[in-house]
Amino acid sequence: MRKLKIAAASAALVALTASSMFSLAHAADATAPATGPNAAMHHMRGEHGPWGLGNIRQLHDQLKLNPQQEQAWQQAVNTSKQNREAMRKNGEQFREMFAQAKDQQVLDLAGMRAAREKVFDQNRQLRSQTEDAWLNVYNGLNNDQKVLVSNAIKARWAKMKAWHDKARQHRGPMHKGAPATQPPAGQAQ
């Protein structure tokens, strides 16, 4: 019985590691365009700012920044671009490691996990740096400008919520909390 439990735990670990590696390999692909309902989730792509701002260039034009604010803005844009590129490279390196692992007869799961955690940590630091740069911009705004930014964020949140609500309705009863559907007549349960 103990051997069965160990085997089951090992199989679960392998499946979890492989699935998280696969997910990271695909999620780390920052080359896809930031369009559609998932664009807000990828806040460091293209001209999209942090916190679901949407088209940040449009917001820039509305803020009418003074020279000091404009300098902070440009610094945040540059930080975003540099960090986005670094995250893209991290993803490429991880995908290469994952591709090489598929050819190995025996997987080094501990090594793969360590590599995954390293990429996650590096990307978390890059996201934090980017958010810090944008917080510096926000903190330099006057109250009217902050209201404009806050309204843009809230509007984006409302749009995302509407999309999630619509998606939830579309998925219907196949997810959490939904009653199980009855099997077709003639099939055993």
The burial class, CB within 10 Å (0-12 / 13-18 / 19+), for 130 is buried
Residues 73-113: tens digit of each pLDDT: 999 999 999 999 999 999 999 899 888 888 889 999 998 89
CB 26 within 8 A of CB 36: no
- In this predicted model, which residue has the larger pLDDT, 57 or 181? 57
- Cβ atoms of 156 and 53 closer than 8 Å: yes
Provide the pLDDT for residue 39. 36
**Domain residue extents for the chain:** 53-162
Q: How confident is the model at residue 12 (pLDDT cuts 50, 70, 90)?
A: very low
pLDDT value, residue 43: 41
160 with 52: CB under 8 angstroms?
yes
Q: pTM to 2 decimals?
A: 0.62
Residue given tokens 């050819």 in the structure block? 103
